Copies of this chain bind each other. A is one copy, B any other.
Amino acid sequence: MFAMNEIGGLGQSIADGLCGDITKDLVAAIVEEAGRFASERIAPHNRKGDEVGARLEGDRVISPPGWKSIYQTWMKAGWNSLSCDPEWGGQGLPLLLQVACTEIWNSASMAFALGPMLTAGAIEAIAAHGSPALKQQYLEKLVSGEWMGTMNLTEPNAGSDLSTTRSSAKQAGDGSYRIKGQKIFITYGEHDLTDNIVHLVLARIAGAPAGTRGISLFLVPKILPDGTRNDVRCGGIEHKLGIHASPTCTMIFGDGEGAVGWLVGEENRGLNCMFTMMNNARLGMGLQGVAIAERAFQQALAYARERRQGYSNGSVDAVPIIQHQDVKRMLLAMKSKIHASRAICYFTAASLDRARVETNGETRSRAAETASLLIPVAKAYGSDVGCEVASLGVQVHGGMGFIEETGAAQHMRDARIAPIYEGTNGIQAIDLVTRKLPVSGAAAVRCLIEDMSSIAEELVTSGHSDLVATGIGLREANANFTSATDFVLNAVARNARQDALAGATPYLALFGHTLGLALLSRMALAAHRQILSGTDNPTKNGRIVLARFFADQVACQAPGLAQAVLRPSTITDHAETALYC
């Protein structure tokens, strides 16, 4: 709630009348209830879901025991429709709240939460681009969660690069198409949680131009409106490192006459339609990282308080390992990275909310640009934090961490997919430096740099020693971020794209560290104000410490990362020599 208020600006949005008639108390109650549902109903099944996994029997996918009933209970409680349009039965709540709940579901079980995240993407694409008839036919049941949705993009030879998509679509003469092709890595492509599954499928209409400009998007339901089975089936499921309870399917469209599908959006504009829904999906993958990290942290913290080993300051008995400096370091690294990446995700979600509902046109488009800039950062930084923190969670457990029964290892396995899917983190970094950053003369990033600079000055002049130290750290990080930004923008402008691309990954990390520190600082300043105004409570001072820890121990990597961005030559000019020596 603190991050939703201080970073997401929830109070301000409510005051600005952007959130309808909800109140802070209502939001708090919803988040609280989501936490209860997740802890009590979903989380206990996470390990079993991992052990048993989704199984294929013929072309049917069987969920782990209990999975279907959890989904049905969850869906009937209305959790699927929080931020959806009331026109289709949604509750019209802010995306910011949706995002907080998404984190909670993913902490409870990433494999479980993934299905509804895909459904949300399908809803978004159909709502934005579908014909009135398609909306009428499908949106209500997708919004309620009675049916689930999927995204069918990848083919064996078309992954990060969709231009080589081969699946084909032929007009059937009745307004529908017949789709043929094979898709791989389709999340929840087939399952037994719902009676129908609504596939969104990229395919090429006969005669379409080659490349990305000849790809169209189709809606292909598993069960046709007349109740018959469509010509689409699951051809296999993958044996994966993690998220075992989430079936990753090979989907076969058109074994026979072709699967019946309807065009979504215009012909040959399928990628554009997909990118609409990908924005939120990418933010979702960042949140998955935050979510897994939070669960890994809670588990590691509990273990570190319980497990006694070794002595500290001349203690007679063995002390809980949380008293050891190196364990404290690991736990603080986990927590500060979680809070930083969560803040980035909430900030992005709040910008998306403003871009959707803000009435002032200029404010709206500025919010949209900020959101668009931040999405690759939220996705890549959040998912990287997920992996790092889950791995630290294993480490805190020592030998027990390597034993599957402990559960820490599952978090690490589950978390590892988030930097890969919905565009690898390398693709996010490329998107950031070549597409997002230069938009409108780099106005969004310049504005961000200015805001961060103001925060640094506020810290430095606060008179509180920890805040001052944090401010000096933020100043230095922001200066490094500014040089790196200039370098990247300059490289793109003078058509030396390779120089920008070679440093894209450290640039994104630098972006994340700097923005993460700025947002942790905003929370620390808010905490400080609350302490000063006497609305102190014992947890507030911790937020000041957390920001300073992040400045001293994490964002101190800024100079090194900036240097990495500024020195691309070994990568651009001589990589082959070194790789084959």
Contact status of A552 and B560, CB under 8 A, knowing A539-B581, A581-B539: no
A419 and B318 CA atoms in complex are apart in Å by 23
Q: Is the CB of B540 within 8 A of A326?
A: no
Contact status of A545 and B420, CB under 8 A, knowing A159-B309, A553-B570, A560-B557: no
List chain B residues, Cβ under 8 A from A412: 241, 416
Q: Is the CB of B552 within 8 A of A564?
A: yes
List chain B residues, Cβ under 8 A from A378: none
Q: Is the CB of B553 within 8 A of A567?
A: yes
Q: Is the CB of A417 within 8 A of B402?
A: yes
> Which listed segment binds B: A11-19, A126-134, A422-430?
A422-430
> Which listed segment binds B: A101-109, A343-351, A390-398?
A390-398
Q: Is the CB of B560 within 8 A of A558?
A: yes
Q: Which of B157, B420, B558, B564 contacts A398 (CB 8 A)?
A: B420
> Which listed segment binds B: A91-99, A143-151, A170-178, A329-337?
A329-337
List chain B residues, Cβ under 8 A from A581: 539-543, 545-546
A536 and B417 CA atoms in complex are apart in Å by 44
Q: Is the CB of A552 within 8 A of B570?
A: yes
Closest CB in chain B relative to A331 CB, distance in Å: 6
Q: Which of B309, B329, B403, B502 contacts A238 (CB 8 A)?
A: B403
List chain B residues, Cβ under 8 A from A45: none
A561 and B558 CA atoms in complex are apart in Å by 11
Q: Is the CB of B327 within 8 A of A426?
A: yes
Q: Is the CB of A332 within 8 A of B575?
A: yes
Q: Is A368 an interface residue (CB 8 A)?
A: no
Closest CB in chain B relative to A526 CB, distance in Å: 13
List chain B residues, Cβ under 8 A from A569: 552
List chain B residues, Cβ under 8 A from A335: 578-579
Closest CB in chain B relative to A262 CB, distance in Å: 28
Q: Is the CB of A419 within 8 A of B395?
A: yes
List chain B residues, Cβ under 8 A from A540: 581
A332 and B575 CA atoms in complex are apart in Å by 7
Q: Which of B420, B557, B560 contacts A399 (CB 8 A)?
A: B420
A301 and B575 CA atoms in complex are apart in Å by 12
Closest CB in chain B relative to A153 CB, distance in Å: 11
Q: Is the CB of A578 within 8 A of B546?
A: yes
Q: Is the CB of B329 within 8 A of A505?
A: yes
Q: Is the CB of B571 within 8 A of A329?
A: yes
A545 and B569 CA atoms in complex are apart in Å by 10
A563 and B559 CA atoms in complex are apart in Å by 11
Q: Is A46 an interface residue (CB 8 A)?
A: no
Q: Is the CB of A498 within 8 A of B399?
A: no
Q: Is A229 an interface residue (CB 8 A)?
A: no
Contact status of A571 and B549, CB under 8 A, knowing A241-B409, A498-B325: yes
Residue of B nearest to A2 (CB): B581
Residue of B nearest to A327 (CB): B426
Q: Is the CB of B567 within 8 A of A426?
A: no
> Which of A395, A541, A574: most chain B CB closer than 10 A?
A574
Contact status of A332 and B161, CB under 8 A, knowing A425-B395, A578-B546: no
A472 and B421 CA atoms in complex are apart in Å by 39
What 0/1 readout, one digit per residue, does chain A (26-61) give for beta carbons within 8 Å of chain B? 000000000000000000000000000000000000
List chain B residues, Cβ under 8 A from A575: 328, 331-332, 545
A322 and B329 CA atoms in complex are apart in Å by 37
Q: Which of B310, B324, B402 contacts A242 (CB 8 A)?
A: B402
A214 and B581 CA atoms in complex are apart in Å by 53
Q: Which of B184, B336, B426, B552 contacts A326 (CB 8 A)?
A: B426
Q: Is A68 an interface residue (CB 8 A)?
A: no
Residue of B nearest to A498 (CB): B325
> Which of A419, A560, A568: most chain B CB closer than 10 A?
A560
Closest CB in chain B relative to A389 CB, distance in Å: 14
In the assembled complex, 10 residue pairs joining A and B whose CB atoms fall closer than 8 Å, in A order, are A161-B309, A326-B505, A398-B420, A402-B417, A409-B416, A539-B581, A543-B578, A545-B581, A552-B564, A552-B567
A residues touching B (Cβ–Cβ < 8 Å)? 154, 157, 159-161, 163-164, 184-185, 238-242, 301, 308-311, 318, 322, 324-332, 335-336, 387, 391, 394-395, 398-399, 401-405, 409, 412-413, 416-417, 419-421, 424-426, 429-430, 498, 501-502, 504-506, 539-543, 545-546, 548-549, 552-553, 556-561, 563-564, 567-572, 574-575, 577-581
